[in-house]
Structure 1
Amino acid sequence: MEKTYTRFEHYSGDRTYQNEQLVEQALANSDFDQAATQGKGFCRLLDKAYIFQDEKLSEYSIVIYTLDEPGLLDSAAKREYVLSEHDEMIIHRMAVVRNGQYLDKADDVQIRILDHEEQGGRGFLTNRKKLSLIIKDLHLQDILIFENTLVSHAPQAGLKRDFKHVYQEFPDPFWFYDRYVLRTVNQTSQVMTYKSCFFRDAQHQVIDPIAIDLPIGESYVFEADNFTTDYDPKLEVRPFIDFATKASYSKVSDAAYQIYEKVISQNSTWLETSAPDLLVELAQHETLDEKIRFVIEFVQNSIYYVYDAEIMDGHEPQEPQITYESKQGDCKAKTVLLKSLLDYLDIASTCVLVNYEADYFIPFYCPSPSNFNHVILKIAYQGRHYFVDATSRNQFGFLQYRSVPEFMYYLPIEPQADLQFREPFWHQNYLVEETVTCMVTEGVGQIDHTLLLRRQNADAIRQMFKNESETYLFNCYTTSLYYNMCLTDNFSEKELSEYFTDSKIAIVSDNQDLNELQIQHDVTLLKPYTVRIGKKEYLNYWDRTYLDDKARDFNSRDLPFWLSHAREKLTFELRTDRKINDKEKVTLQECKIDSDFLCYQTTKAVDKHGARMTIDYSVKTNAAIKGEELANYLSSDKKIRDNNFGMTIDLFEQGFFDKLKKSFVKK
């Protein structure tokens, strides 16, 4: 029998509303009646309740608001919900108040249930359904009344049943509420807890969140008349309350480990019977470094990533033998397979839970497995720890040279493990080493441009050369030179191919074990000098890569700024057959910065016909900074902006005899 995802049923909960009561609420005078004329939304009533029970979660809601603009009319006329196979939508009331009269619209509701299958390039799959409620004959200025309950039934066993969790954001300041009610009822057999986050005191300062217990059988209630939120959505985090079954992270990790243990505790003997060909390939690699690289890249590139939303919610990993034989799996399956292969090599590793998108907020949430949406592997090798994301692709190198995922918090899937903080770090090696030499003779520049790239930079550029056309590569690299050499007054960006000629760009070496990629770009520049007031000529190179515009423009009052930069070294040399002013301040100026989050040094060598500048740039990465730390970082960035991110050489004006000499040479 096909599952029914929705039905009509009168509400029989702890708080019921009569039709007459709702009409009175809809028509009552309010302090916020002028909200619509101020361009704001006005809601007469929002009463929302989460009823937690061991076997299900019921999300009840009743809302009354005026359809006073076309956008609200459109959204009311068609409501869409995505339901899993465990969900059910119960409609209690669909009505409008029109001309002071209550009109039941239940018979005007058309229900459509469609498959909500999604499948993208990375294999996102879900068997959820899309529920569409289409309401006929709604008018502008109708006052809509909609009452419903979304019931989510818990599975028979698993983390989702044992650890309840709801995250509830408070409304956007766009909305005014005549009456606003938020309730949470604990009818489970366990104590729950909640944390109110990013709420503000009378001085508009964020109040530190405190975990408060919600005992069995008790309720949390927030209710207010004439309510609106007071925060700036562009600068501040929307306040929210996080509700969850009371637990510690050690309890969460214990529960997760019990699910994973039956899979990860299996020995690797299955490889001999199910993957003999893989073992033959593995044996062809002599060193342990080579073997580790082989198994990582096999899992990343040869096992197709399939994200199944239903399975992911259950946190239950697929057995590695099944993943290998089917050649597909989600993050858990791929990570467990990689761990099994490393176990075969006697390399210690641990599955860990992360959440790249909401990483910063994890300490604000109540401890729960729902705080994490991804699994990666932590590998112990030669006295160091490395993190590998088994769902990544097209990454290369021995373990110590591979791309490094960035996140702050993770939970090891081990007995009694606690939430771990990953310390910020400095890259030990340069991820980019760049040299640029421009030699100008007779007004024509010959540019020799070399790039040596490592880790994620090498991975990214390797793929760019693989996937992009020669025209794209030419535009990419010459555009960078065009702006760095300040040529915008000489010719437009559309004329690059006219002034950058004889371009040759290619990968000249690719050591995939060390994950090092070298690019060579040679090009002729027909108009290298810039001319300013008084017809003085200059040769420039200013690389804005070293200016952190994102940090400068960052203005969140609540969130930290995330530091994620490669360690880079740039050496560029500008030479000319003409004499330069070797005493000019901007040509000679050097800089050294040694701060907590940024180390930066420039050195220069200047002679009569040119100058060379080296920039050594390193930023502490995987770091979230705010307050005084951010201010200090911006102070360092400001010093770089003070003519320390490049160089201009000032050419002496040619005299009569210089010009005469050139005319003879040309003849």
Structure 2
Amino acid sequence: MDNQMQVENYKIQKPEVWAGNIGDQEIIDRIKDSEFSRKQIEEGKDYCYFLDKKYYTSNNENSEYVCMAYTLNEPGNLERASVSDVVVEENEVYQIHRISVLRDGVLIDKIPDTRIKVLDSENQSSGGVLSSNKKINITIKDLRLYDVLVLEDSRIKEFTDRDFLRKEFSKYVWVSPDNYWAYGHFKFTFINAREQTIAYKKTFFRNEKGEVLEPEIKFLKQGQCFVIEEPNYINTVDSGREIFPYVDFATESSWKDLSNYIAPLYEEVSNKASLQDFAPNLIEKLEAIADQGEKIQLAIEYVQNHIYYIFDADEMNGHKPQEPSVTYENKQGDCKAKSLLLKVILEYIGVEASVVLVNFNTDYYIKYYLPSLLSFNHAVVKIKYKGEEYFVDATTRDEFGLIENRGFMYFIHYLETKKDQELQVRKPHKFPYYCVDEKVDFNVKGNIGKLNLVTTYKGNRANAMRRYFKSTHKREIIDSWNSFLFYGFNYSNDRNGTDIRNVFKDAEIDVVSDDKKLNEMKIQYTATVDNPYYVDPQNNRFLMYFDRNVIKASARDFMHKDLPFWHSFDSEKYEVNLYTDQKIDTGEKYTVQESTIKNPYFEYSSRKKVTKNGASVYIESNPLVNIEIPQKDFEQFRTDHHTVADSNFGLGIDIIEPGLMNSLKFSFKKRFK
């Protein structure tokens, strides 16, 4: 074998005692075709003859063992098997026990044909991501289509002093396998070798009718195992509409106990030195500001922009934060360090603040998970100010505004790093401002249309739009607006294929104003449009403006059975004015149609004003966000969004062509409509 020298990141050896030992003949005996296997292979799928997976946890290590045999009947699977990567953490060792193929009834050892390289797995260090992970690249020569590949390996993660939290607490989530694969024999074993009792919770398992069963919680003492074993197994989950069944394992504890464990760690480091001692220059700047809101803004933006964010993967699995004085002096820190520094600064100016633990990726599942500090992967700051609660991510950049105008952070569950805390649930949120406030004026004289569009963005939208204008070439920005308007005016249906730059002539876009306290950015787009009317196949002319951003397709198309719909739409306000020097049909249905929706989760109104030469529409949408919409309420929510989509998201006016015959045709149409 190439690269024979053993290195610390991987070893070739027999399995650990807890994993057991399986001989070659037993492997061969277990790779037997059956009616079940033949059916899968005939359907063109790869097939796994057996999968034995074991997870072992003690107070000294977390380890996983896998032994499996699967077909290489598909070229894509053969390629993936021939070259693969395994990423190991610091102090984690990848153990290879067996790499073999069963070919023509003979078990062939492929370790001599295996080349192993150890590479650094650090491709983002320039962005402040630090990791001691290693990538083990495994190349197996001479794998052939229709081989059966046998892999047996383990990952052994021994704890260091830095892993004090992993020593004390265990957390593991087993998720049922991908439903592409069929298994002749599937087995998963969880082995508790810890001194502490481990609880486990089975969630989203289903009965024979496909109905979700109530979660059940049981316990494993030291030396006990949990086993799932299935013969001829295919996961029947409808992956597009159902959540995969999973089992959550965690050291038996309560949220209150966990908060009492974590609180002293934050308390200890935050009290080691006062802000006056290590940040006199910052204090001078703060005390030069009279307004408390402006002081808060300075504190937030100082930590966000002047303290460099270092994501240290090896430190994130512990919860002991860096001292604020060190963070300030070094001008860098991870999310815990930056959050704690911001908390200390806010408390100095008399603002109540605390560090809270969150997990944006698995926020939905935290309410189902067993209590565990290892369920969180990020820290942010909770601020109480003038009777309101705000949450600030100290690791972000390019965010602005007084605290009430800053962008809103979406998540529901969090744990404060204080004593005697339970898992907390945030209230739903209503924006005190419009995230988008837009006015469209389109005036047509003769065959020329003058377009003026003014949009004010606030909160998250203002932050995003600043970044967009900062990083994008102006020509590209104008093209983006042109493309949006091409569809908004319905030109895509009567001049599709036309160069959009030739439709919207002399297009310009500029930032009119940018208020960093209000966090409000206003832009203006102007253009001239030749042939401004949309013309249908019968040569009828219309002025139309329908903003499809107002239609929430994700709400109308949502079909998941288990996940509730996550409501995170922005508040929006639009005024659209379409005017012409032609006579219009002032009674046309879609010109005068209005709507009022009062759903528990959003209020929506569309109001019209019609004159003989034009019309205006005033649209307002005020959602209740940061909330999961229960299934019992969702169909009405969907229906109300269908109502919005039924021509209540814009304006259209019909032109009455001049001339006696056209007037008669129009009168006849109105009479018999």
TM-score (norm 2): 0.93
Name 2:56's counterpart in structure 1: 51
Shift of 1:259: 2.2
Q: Is the 8 A contact 1:6 1:90 kept in 2?
A: yes
Q: Is 1:172 aligned with 2:178?
A: yes
Structure 1 window deviating more from structure 2 (390-399 vs 556-565): it is 556-565
| 8 Å Cα contact 1:27-1:100 kept in structure 2 | no
Q: Deviations over 1:539-592 (max 9, x none)?
A: 111122221111222222221221111111111111111111112121111111
Residue by residue over 1:321-351, the C-alpha shift from the partner in whole angstroms, topping out at 9 and shown as x without a partner, is 2212222221111111111211221211111
Task: Please report how far the alpha carbon of residue 354 of structure 1 lies from its aligned counterpart in structure 2 after TM superposition.
Answer: 0.8
Q: Does 1:329 align with 2:333?
A: yes
Distance 1:28 1:603 in 2: 69
2:269 pairs with 1:260:
no
Residue 85 of structure 2 corresponds to which residue in structure 1?
80
Match of 2:38, SS?
coil
The 1-side partners of 2:284 and 2:248 are apart by 51
Q: In structure 2, give the amino acid aligned to 1:477.
A: W
2:514 corresponding residue in structure 1: 510
Q: Secondary structure at the match of 2:337?
A: helix
Number of corresponding residues: 657
Q: Which residue of 1 aligns with 2:200?
A: 194
d(CA) in 2 for partners of 1:29 and 1:496? 61
**SS of alignment partner, residue 620 of structure 1:** strand
Q: Alpha carbon RMSD of aligned pairs, Å?
A: 2.1
SS of the aligned residue for 1:34 comes to: helix
Q: Is the 8 A contact 2:656 2:662 kept in 1?
A: no
Aligned to 1:581: 585
1:93-116, CA deviations, whole angstroms, 9 ceiling, x for partnerless residues? 232222222333333333322221
Q: Aligned AA for 1:232?
A: D
Question: Is the 1:118–1:125 contact (alpha carbons within 8 Å) kept by the matching residues of 2?
Answer: no
CA–CA separation in structure 1 for the residues paired with 2:329 and 2:211: 56
The residue identity in structure 2 corresponding to 1:219 is: C
Name 1:290's counterpart in structure 2: 294
Residues 33 and 42, structure 1, Cα contact 8 Å, conserved in 2:
no
1:534 aligns to what SS in structure 2? coil
CA distance in 2, matches of 1:629, 1:280: 53
Indicate conservation of the 8 Å contact 1:159/1:255, yes or no.
no
State the distance in 2 between where 1:601 and 1:14 align. Answer: 64
Q: CA deviation at 1:626?
A: 4.4
- Partners of 1:100 and 1:179 lie apart in 2 by 20
Give the CA deviation at 1:28. Answer: 5.2
**Structure 1 pair 232/121, CA: closer, same or farther in 2 (3 Å)?**
farther
| 1:464 pairs with 2:486 | no
> SS in structure 2 opposite 1:32?
helix
- The one-letter code sitting in structure 2 at the alignment partner of 1:577 is D
1:128-143 to 2 correspondences below 5 Å: 128-143=133-148
Aligned-partner SS, 2:625: coil
5 Å matches for 1:1-40? 3-13=8-18, 15-27=20-32, 29=34, 31-40=36-45
* Distance in 2 (alpha carbons) for counterparts of 1:125 and 1:387: 26
SS in 2 for 1:158: helix
- Relative to 1, partners in 2 of residues 1:11 and 1:141: Cα closer, same or farther, differing over 3 Å? farther
Distance (whole Å) between structure 1 residues aligned to residue 351 and residue 181 of structure 2: 56
> Structure 1 residue 398 and structure 2 residue 402: aligned?
yes
- Following superposition of structure 1 onto structure 2, how do residues 485-500 of structure 1 map, counting pairs within 5 Å? 485-492=489-496, 494-500=498-504
**Partner Cα separation in structure 2 for residue 548 and residue 601 of structure 1:** 15
Query: CA shift at 1:455, angstroms?
Result: 0.9
Shift of 1:197: 1.9
Task: Give the corresponding residue for 2:541.
Answer: 537
* Paired residue secondary structure (1:250): helix
Shift of residue 599 of structure 1?
0.6
| 3-state DSSP of counterpart to 2:583 | coil
Measured at CA, do residues 479 and 77 of structure 1 come closer, stay the same or move farther in structure 2, by a change above 3 Å? closer
Unpaired segments ≥5 residues, structure 2: 1-5, 664-673
Secondary structure at the counterpart of residue 491 of structure 2: coil
Q: Residue 325 and residue 608 in structure 1: after superposition, are their counterparts in 2 closer, same or farther (change >3 A)? A: same
Identity of aligned residues (%): 34
- Alpha-carbon separation, structure 2, partners of 1:27 and 1:580: 78
Contact 1:268 1:341 survives alignment (8 Å): no
> Could you tell me whether the CA contact under 8 Å between 1:559 and 1:626 is conserved in 2?
no
Q: Which residue of 2 aligns with 1:664?
A: none
Question: Matched residue of 2:238: which SS?
Answer: coil
Contact 1:451 1:520 (8 Å CA) reproduced: yes
Secondary structure of the 1:520 match is strand
Where has structure 1 moved over 6 Å in runs of 4 or more? 656-659
One of 126, 132, 152 as aligned partner of 1:127: 132
Letter in 1 for 2:202: S
User: Which residue does the alignment assign to 1:237?
Assistant: 243
Partner of 2:150 in structure 1? 145
Q: CA deviation at 1:308?
A: 0.8
- What SS does the aligned partner of 1:586 have? helix
Is this contact kept in 2: 1:11–1:92, CA < 8 A? Answer: no
Q: How does 1:216-615 map to 2 (within 5 A)?
A: 216-269=222-275, 272-492=276-496, 494-615=498-619
User: Retained in 2: the 8 A contact 1:211–1:366?
Assistant: no
In structure 1, runs of 5+ residues without a counterpart are: 660-667
Deviates more, 1:62-71 or 1:600-609: 62-71
- Measured in 1, the distance between the counterparts of 2:361 and 2:433 equals 27
How far has the Cα of 1:316 moved from its partner? 2.1
- SS for the counterpart of 2:461 is helix
- Answering whether residue 187 of structure 2 is matched by residue 181 of structure 1, we say yes
Give, in whole Å, the separation in 2 of the partners of 1:468 and 1:4. 43
CA distance in 2 between counterparts of 1:30 and 1:487 reads 59
State how far apart, in whole Å, the 1-side matches of 2:179 and 2:113 are: 32
Secondary structure, in 3 states, of the residue corresponding to 1:392? coil
Seen in structure 2, the aligned counterparts of structure 1 residues 178 and 537 have a Cα distance that, compared at 3 Å, is: same
- Secondary structure of 1:498 counterpart: helix
Q: Structure 2 counterpart of 1:591, which letter?
A: S
Going from structure 1 to structure 2, the CA distance change for 1:475 and 1:254 (only over 3 Å counts) comes to: same
